[in-house]
């Protein structure tokens, strides 16, 4: 029964018509109508109550702002208005931290345009849900429960109360790694730029932000990191840290501070580290065996240079598209191999894309359990939550269908080969940043297809599903005892 509304005014005595006079005649009708009417909520309340849609709104707002700024004459070296399709594609590539370029960053974009790209990469790399939660902290001094649910899930917090501390740690970790990378890059870039301090400072800042966020844009237009260990090694290490993901970095920092042995690290950290190192080792072995005698790629190169190229090729293609000049010269088997690794991508909640290393590892564990006839999926003597395994399989299946469909569409609109279409599609979805030339500014249809793929790769299928089908609060706060973040 609805709550009774007491009205003890004397004017209701006649309206009561013999009933107890302190109830108004239409009290029950008014209260019933009020119960049936949903409470009015303003736009802000609706957005905060649905963080998935807020994530998508923020991401598209960032793309729109970057597109408008890149179209301004001040953003181009020639002070001309940039083609809207090129500006839009560059904005998507920067905000999604992909790094595929259709124009030369150095010769086409001015210092202002490069600064716009840099800021878009930084805000995109911090994570759309992370930045949205920081807005909530600044405005409301606290995170609302519905916002904390998705943020905790994205950042790997096992309890909602940890989210605020995790967000602070994310900012500190990001700035710390970027500052360390900046300081490590400056001497090498100062030497490369022949003592030009101003230019070396800008390139060090640009590379520090871009490398950690695994974007692939280069301020020099030639990928200086490939030719110099003083530049290449800091970029390589920073990009590798960016692929691990915030939960892994936080767990490693806490373990180092408390001297926690590796066997007591979280299950998510163990799976991510083992999967990442295995992928790097397999990539290094592949380039050592398949491309070692590629005269176009390694022409007149000594053993040290070949090892440096192979190490760069083993780490960078999964997430960072620095120096794409050598990619068209690799063999078709290597293009397919790189496509598979870009499709897998980096660690969950990292600046990388793809289906994520943890998702792929969980799918392999599901296959192992099925082949052995076991119902439970276990690793390191711990059982993986059933919902996690279902999510991993559904993500991988959905993304395979997406990549296959976009590859066919690219072949239809551009006339490219299957290996090239698959390579660029996986690069866009996995935010790898490499291209074999399918992304051409003279083909707007191909650019729009790849831009759509980059958006999906950055936002992630889980966030899109959350925006379409909002789970109940009871479902959203159920964290497994040993959380593994997939998707």
List the one residue out of 220, 389, 357 whose CA is nearest residue 282. Answer: 357
Within-domain flag for 117: yes
379 beta partners: 382
Contact of 97 with 209, CB cutoff 8 Å: no
pLDDT in tens, 391-449: 889 889 999 999 999 999 999 988 888 888 999 999 899 888 888 878 776 678 889 99
- For residue 182, pLDDT over 80 is answered with yes
The answer to whether position 41 is within a domain reads no
Provide the pLDDT for residue 401.
Answer: 93
- Burial annotation 433-445 (CB, 10 A radius, 16+ → b, else e): bbbbebbeeebbe
Confidence at residue 287, expressed as pLDDT on a 0 to 100 scale: 82
User: Is 230 a domain residue?
Assistant: yes
What domain count does the chain have? 1
C-alpha 339/C-alpha 402 separation (Å) is 14
Question: What's the whole-number mean pLDDT along residues 128-157?
Answer: 53
In tens, the pLDDT along 14-59 reads 444 443 433 444 544 555 565 555 555 555 555 555 656 777 888 8
Residue with tokens 């649910």: 149
Q: Quote the pLDDT of residue 294.
A: 77
**254 inside domain:** yes
- Token pair 């970057």 is found at 66
Q: What range does the domain containing 372 cover?
A: 46-466
Q: What is the structure's pLDDT at 475?
A: 42
- pLDDT for 145 equals 56
Indicate the range of 287-291, 318-322, 353-357, 459-463 predicted with least confidence.
Answer: 318-322
Residue 436 lies in a domain: yes
Question: pLDDT higher for 484 or 240?
Answer: 240
Per-residue pLDDT at 303: 75
Residue 111 has pLDDT above 80, yes or no: yes
**Cβ distance 82 to 70 under 8 Å?**
yes
Residue 2 has pLDDT above 60, yes or no: no
Q: Percentage of residues in the chain with pLDDT exceeding 70?
A: 70
Beta bridge mates, 297 = none
Mean pLDDT estimate for the chain: 77
- Per-residue pLDDT tens digits for 257-304: 888 898 888 888 899 999 988 988 888 888 888 887 777 766 667 777
pTM of the model: 0.79
- At residue 73, the pLDDT reads 93
Does 307 reside within a domain? yes
Examine the pLDDT at 135 and tell me if it is beyond 70.
Answer: no
Residue 16 is assigned to a structural domain of this protein: no
Could you tell me which of 358, 360, 321, 361 has the C-alpha nearest to residue 338?
Answer: 321
Query: Ranked by mean pLDDT, which of 3-17, 46-60, 80-94, 150-164 comes out on top?
Result: 80-94
Query: What pLDDT is attached to residue 295?
Result: 75
Torsion of CA 123, 126, 129, 132, to 10 degrees: -50
pLDDT confidence of residue 161: 53
Q: Is residue 33 part of a domain?
A: no
DSSP 109: B
Q: What pLDDT is attached to residue 479?
A: 35
Q: Which residue has the higher pLDDT, 243 or 117?
A: 117
């Amino acid at each position: 029964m609805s709550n009774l509304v007491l009205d003890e005014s004397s004017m209701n005595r006649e309206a009561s018509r013999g009933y107890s006079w302190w109830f108004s005649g239409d009290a029950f009708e008014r209260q019933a109508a009020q119960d049936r009417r949903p409470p009015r909520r303003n736009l802000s309340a609706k957005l905060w109550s649905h963080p998935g849609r807020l994530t998508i709104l923020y991401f598209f707002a960032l793309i729109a702002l970057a597109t408008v700024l890149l179209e301004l004459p001040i953003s181009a070296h020639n002070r001309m208005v940039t083609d809207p399709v090129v500006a839009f594609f560059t904005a998507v590539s920067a905000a999604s931290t992909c790094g595929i370029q259709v124009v030369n960053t150095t010769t086409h974009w001015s210092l202002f345009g490069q600064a716009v790209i840099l800021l878009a990469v930084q805000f995109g790399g911090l994570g759309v849900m992370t930045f949205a939660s920081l807005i909530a902290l600044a405005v409301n001094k606290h995170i609302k429960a519905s916002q904390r649910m998705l943020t905790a899930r994205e950042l790997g917090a096992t309890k909602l109360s940890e989210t605020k501390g995790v967000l602070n740690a994310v900012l500190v970790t990001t700035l710390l790694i970027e500052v360390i990378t900046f300081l490590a890059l400056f001497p090498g870039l100062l030497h490369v730029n022949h003592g030009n301090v101003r230019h070396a400072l800008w390139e060090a800042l640009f590379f520090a932000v871009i490398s950690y966020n695994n974007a692939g844009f280069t301020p020099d237009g030639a990928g200086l990191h490939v030719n110099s260990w003083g530049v290449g090694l800091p970029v390589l290490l920073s990009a590798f840290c960016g692929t691990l993901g915030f939960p892994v970095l936080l767990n490693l920092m806490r373990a180092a501070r408390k001297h926690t042995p590796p066997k007591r690290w979280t299950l998510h950290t163990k799976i991510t580290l083992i999967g990442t190192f295995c992928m790097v080792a397999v990539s290094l072995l592949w380039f050592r065996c398949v491309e070692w005698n590629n005269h176009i790629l390694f022409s007149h190169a000594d053993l040290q240079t070949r090892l440096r190229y192979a190490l760069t090729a083993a780490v960078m293609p999964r997430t960072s598209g620095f120096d794409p000049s050598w990619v068209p010269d690799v063999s078709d088997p290597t293009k397919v191999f790189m496509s598979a690794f870009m499709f897998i991508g980096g660690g969950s909640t990292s600046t990388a894309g793809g289906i994520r290393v943890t998702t792929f590892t969980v799918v392999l564990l599901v296959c192992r359990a099925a082949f052995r006839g076991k119902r439970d999926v276990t690793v390191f003597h711990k059982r993986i939550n059933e919902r996690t395994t279902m999510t991993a399989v559904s993500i991988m299946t959905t993304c395979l269908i997406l990549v296959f469909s976009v590859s066919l569409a690219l072949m239809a609109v551009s006339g490219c080969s299957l290996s090239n279409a698959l390579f660029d599609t996986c690069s866009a979805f996995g935010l790898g940043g490499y291209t074999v030339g399918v992304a051409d500014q003279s083909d707007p249809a191909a650019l729009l297809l790849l831009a759509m793929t980059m958006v999906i790769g950055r936002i992630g299928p889980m966030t899109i599903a959350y925006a379409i089908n909002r789970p109940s609060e009871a479902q959203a706060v159920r964290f497994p005892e040993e959380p593994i973040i997939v998707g």
